[in-house]
Structure 1
Amino acid sequence: MTVTEPTHGPAPVAADEEPVSRRRGRSNGGAGRVATALLFLVPAALTLASSLNGIGDRQMWRDEHATWWAATLSLGDLSQLIRNIDVVFAPYYFLMHLWVSSAGDSPTALRVPAAFAMAAAAGLLALVGRRMFTTGTGLLAGLVFAAVPSVTEYGQQARPYAFAVAFTLLSTLVLLRALDRPSLKGWTLYAATIPLIGFSHLVSLSVLAGHLGMVVMARRKGDRIAHWAFAAAALTGLSVVLPMLAQGSNQSGQIAWNNPTFQDLVNHPQKLFGSWVTGGAVMALGVVGLLVVRKYAVLLAPWVVLPPVVTYLTAAQLHLFLPRYLLFTVPAWVLLASAAVTRLSGPLTDAVRTGTARRVFGGVLVAVAAAVFAWQAQPGLALARQNDPAEPDYRGAHRLVAQGFERGDGIAFSGQKSERRAMAFEFRHAGAADRPKDVLMWRTPQQMGNFGALECPDPAKCLAKTDRLWVVSTSQLGTPFADMPQKTAVVLSTRFKVAKTSSLPNVRVLLLKRVR
């Protein structure tokens, strides 16, 4: 099961170890299609099963609440929102708007599209691996990918990162086919994949650097149209994305909070893969893989190196160095690691004399390698399905308020973790008479064209008819009113008394009663 480099020399290579690009003319059409379907479906099914396992159990977090909020707005309000913020996620929000209108807005429903996108990514990775190397390498890459903890984590999140991974792999596969069998149709399809990458996440477009490396390599080997076709396809695809990129650059302040330190760079493998053990193993083997993949190093090296290096060096200006923004590099690392394993196991496979036995033995080695990786990834997978320890327990806060609610109660919020939006999600199916009124909301998020509301400028007046007030606070500064406007904090401190306080992970729920 060696990783062999396609050559034009006379040296024979075992058919089961040849890249697909050299075997396509010799394979049986029907059998070949069945094998391709299985190669796609096996990793995809495993990834989908891992993503769907407990998909609705973990609490929604702030960014997922943003997805829910945007997806449940009217099209007019959603259009106004993306004019002011998050335009780079506009295609995803519109997609989720259509999805929610038919599937509902439960945590499970909101996350299912990401689960299927990640499953598709696993299958596409297997196909990419087969086209570049061997069937064994592609299958191993797909199986290892399914066991990476961060793959399950983001396959269970109502965010677009799984789509970025899938579209990056789709574009790479289409490019490899276009280089192998140049045609107008092939390059047109490649051009169509570029906006899909940009619409899922702009940082993922950096994979085009690796694509350019493959085109340059093809040009040096005598392909006279590859560079022109790539230039036309890239310019056509990017022209669709550039307007969104231009508008998004004016909204970069929304991620200005992200100022990574050197320690964030050190922790990058753990954050990217979901565990130190998994990240360390894949990256260590990936470095070995870079030494054996030969011509494909021009694709895979820029894919894994450039995005983290560039985003880290420009973090002070662009604030884009975040592991979830770089999730699309995980497949390239996995592919490199799989290539290293199949190359290192080559002598064992070559010792088997007959072709059928060699294929069977190679399949066993793939299964064993994938099983070993999945076994050591189990602790990380368990953590991936748990609530983020830094996130507030809004589900518990909702339960406390709902159990103690009385007609006429009000609710207010203190903190920096989108408390109002989170509690709106938790109370999304309660009627106006069955939930406390947001008495301090002066202008709604829809009126603001934003995710946040405008607080009441005269809190004493806004609270005049409220005798019982629930306060949901994530403030870490001691007093639960610390992150409120000073005028509001003064009114609450002098005109109300704390009747009950409940502490939950990273959030406090207080019941205030008016002082008579």
Structure 2
Amino acid sequence: MTSSTPNLVRPPRATGTAAADRPARERWAALLVFLLPMAVAMTWVLPSIGHRQLWRDEHCTWWASSIGYPDLGFLIEHIDVVFTPFYASMHVWIALVGTSPTALRLPEGLAMAASAGLLGLIGRQLFTRRAGLLAGLLFALVPTVTRYGQEARPYAFAVLFSLLATFLLLRALERPTLRIWTLYALAVSLTGLSHLVALSVVAAHGVAVLRARRGGHHFVHWAFGCAVVMGTSALLPMVAKGSGQAGQIAWNEASLLDVATYPRDLFGSWFAGAVVMGLGVVGLLMAGHKAVMPAVWAALPPALTFLTSDRLHLFLPRYLLFTIPAWLLLAAAGADRCAEGLIRLRWMGRRGRAAGWVLVTGAVAGFAFQVFPAVATARQDLPGEPDYAGAGRIVRAGERPGDGIVYDGEFSERKAMSYELRGGARPKDVLMRLTPQEIGWYSAAECDVPADCLAGHRRLWRVSTPAGGAHSVMRARTAAALAQQFRVVRTERLRHLTVELLESRGR
């Protein structure tokens, strides 16, 4: 009798305890799914973040974020109005932290790390905890995540805010409140402000809302519509102004070859692209209706940008970086379903669950091993970019008071060397007639009569990006004036760049 009484009392206690502990366990599980991918992303993206030289687009970020706000306003009247929020934010950031490569890129690296965690939570909410963790971990290892997490451009923020908007939408569909829908509207606005192309993720959100409405949420489409209108209304002036500046990327002519190399360019290696997209197709076939939203997210933006590329010129893998999470959600769902099938064939119960986590760990480790060379390449200087840092060191070491400097090339040498020689006295730009601030552009206007501007200078540094230091880009009359008034006394050849020291023939 005494032994039977506890048996009658314990089950309710155990059941009640389990029910009470379930929310706590779910919170800890969600925290793990967020923090573990974020930690892995930080260990892959943040090391050596300042090692690679800035390239020409990053020089634009530094320049636009360093000039005064009135000059920035004049600049965006002519170019890059769609990057205004990014430049304004970076203006505040560099005022606090500085302009070193590490300082300029740190916000992007942290944005990519946070994106990995958010992707884990989205995968957990859409599919399973294991699928979410797998998606977040794989995202952290993708070579282009490291590449653009180490670049002072807004693409990492486009990824972050598109993920944040997606996460908030799923929360709103699960527990709709005015607060969640308001935060979703704000996230939509931030997505468009980071990069307009990323705003196409809203089309995938519309698919999820349509399914929710069919499932009995009768007013969800009104809440969604209001939130999208509120979120995009702040973007209308920027869109209107940006449509008139589309010509600045008219050089981007998409072709079928670009489509063929899209998987490699989007993910940073053929292996990563093939594995993720291949598993993504499996996930699309096996995950049912839950795969529809990420499928639209992954496929619609590249399709639209390619079909309109002759007019909008937006089919660029870096513009479509925000679609990588969608592919990874599908891939993780496919891998999770495959693992589940293998488990059911061999194991059951606790051993089966443990085997599933072992399979996930093995998949992540194998993926990391295969893509590591591509990640290492992503941390190196970009192919074809001149060695401006080396040129800056040469000029710094050899300059004297009164030295001047001239530029010959098509790679924004003036802006790049201004960055490398920042923070102190530097040779006078003797050919510059109007500064970039005065003309509202990234380049300057040069002298109409070069001989007059060169007169009176005893030593000049010439930075040339033509490989042999030839004057193939410099205006003929400028090259003639240089040859007539100066002679070369020193030549230093660097990667895709030549530095020459010239002395006046009248010395």
TM range (shorter): over 0.9
Which amino acid letter does the alignment assign opposite residue 487 of structure 2?
Answer: K
Residue in 1 aligned with 2:13? none
Q: Considering only aligned residues, what root-mean-square deviation do their CA atoms show, in Å?
A: 1.6
Residue in 1 aligned with 2:367? 373
Q: Report if aligned partners of 2:493, 2:499 keep a CA contact under 8 Å in 1.
A: yes
Deviation at 1:236, TM superposition (A): 1.0
Counterparts of 1:190 and 1:218, CA distance in 2: 16
The normalised TM-score by structure 2 is: 0.93
- Match runs of 1:87-236 below 5 Å: 87-236=81-230
Q: Report if aligned partners of 2:203, 2:296 keep a CA contact under 8 Å in 1.
A: yes
Pick from 485, 491, 514: which aligns with 2:504? 514
Deviation at 1:479, TM superposition (A): 5.8
Which amino acid letter does the alignment assign opposite residue 444 of structure 2?
Answer: A
Deviation at 1:243, TM superposition (A): 1.3
- 1:291-320 deviations in Å (ceiling 9; x for gaps): 122113331122111111221222221111
Counterparts of 1:463 and 1:348, CA distance in 2: 76
Secondary structure in 1 matching 2:235: helix
- Match runs of 1:294-373 below 5 Å: 294-350=288-344, 351-354=346-349, 356-373=350-367
Counterparts of 1:27 and 1:265, CA distance in 2: 50
Instruction: Name whichever of 31-40 and 454-463 sits farther off.
Output: 31-40
Counterparts of 1:288 and 1:90, CA distance in 2: 40
Counterparts of 1:125 and 1:98, CA distance in 2: 28
Deviation at 1:206, TM superposition (A): 0.8
Which amino acid letter does the alignment assign opposite residue 187 of structure 1?
Answer: W
- 1:221-265 deviations in Å (ceiling 9; x for gaps): 222112111111111111111211111111112212212332222
Are residues 1:440 and 2:431 paired?
A: yes
Residue in 2 aligned with 1:470? 461
- 1:26-57 deviations in Å (ceiling 9; x for gaps): 86333322221221111001101211111111
Pick from 258, 262, 276: which aligns with 2:252? 258
Deviation at 1:79, TM superposition (A): 2.1
Which amino acid letter does the alignment assign opposite residue 172 of structure 1?
Answer: T
- 1:172-228 deviations in Å (ceiling 9; x for gaps): 111111112222222222111111100111000111111111111112222211211
Secondary structure in 2 matching 1:254: helix
Which amino acid letter does the alignment assign opposite residue 190 of structure 2?
Answer: L
Residue in 1 aligned with 2:442? 451
Counterparts of 2:388 and 2:115, CA distance in 1: 32
Which amino acid letter does the alignment assign opposite residue 498 of structure 1?
Answer: V
Matched-pair identity in %: 52
Residue in 2 aligned with 1:495? 485
Secondary structure in 1 matching 2:77: helix
Secondary structure in 1 matching 2:30: helix
Counterparts of 2:161 and 2:271, CA distance in 1: 27
The count of corresponding residues between Structure 1 and Structure 2 is 487
Gaps of 5+ in 1: 1-24
Counterparts of 1:511 and 1:265, CA distance in 2: 45
- 1:140-163 deviations in Å (ceiling 9; x for gaps): 001111110000111111111111
Secondary structure in 1 matching 2:462: strand
The structure with more radius of gyration? 2
Counterparts of 1:247 and 1:173, CA distance in 2: 30
- 1:466-505 deviations in Å (ceiling 9; x for gaps): 12211111136x6632222232122112222222222211
Counterparts of 2:255 and 2:378, CA distance in 1: 24
Deviation at 1:515, TM superposition (A): 2.3
Instruction: Name whichever of 233-242 and 184-193 sits farther off.
Output: 184-193
Counterparts of 1:507 and 1:99, CA distance in 2: 31
Q: Report if aligned partners of 1:445, 1:452 keep a CA contact under 8 Å in 2.
A: yes
- Match runs of 1:58-69 below 5 Å: 58-69=52-63
Q: Report if aligned partners of 1:482, 1:489 keep a CA contact under 8 Å in 2.
A: no
Secondary structure in 1 matching 2:371: helix
Secondary structure in 2 matching 1:84: coil
Which amino acid letter does the alignment assign opposite residue 473 of structure 1?
Answer: S
Which amino acid letter does the alignment assign opposite residue 296 of structure 2?
Answer: P
Secondary structure in 1 matching 2:234: helix
The normalised TM-score by structure 1 is: 0.91
Which amino acid letter does the alignment assign opposite residue 373 of structure 1?
Answer: F
Which amino acid letter does the alignment assign opposite residue 256 of structure 1?
Answer: A
Secondary structure in 2 matching 1:324: coil
Residue in 1 aligned with 2:14? none
Deviation at 1:67, TM superposition (A): 0.8
Q: Report if aligned partners of 2:295, 2:327 keep a CA contact under 8 Å in 1.
A: no
Instruction: Name whichever of 247-256 and 378-387 sits farther off.
Output: 247-256
Secondary structure in 2 matching 1:66: helix
Q: Report if aligned partners of 2:159, 2:321 keep a CA contact under 8 Å in 1.
A: yes
Gaps of 5+ in 2: 1-18
Which amino acid letter does the alignment assign opposite residue 177 of structure 2?
Answer: S
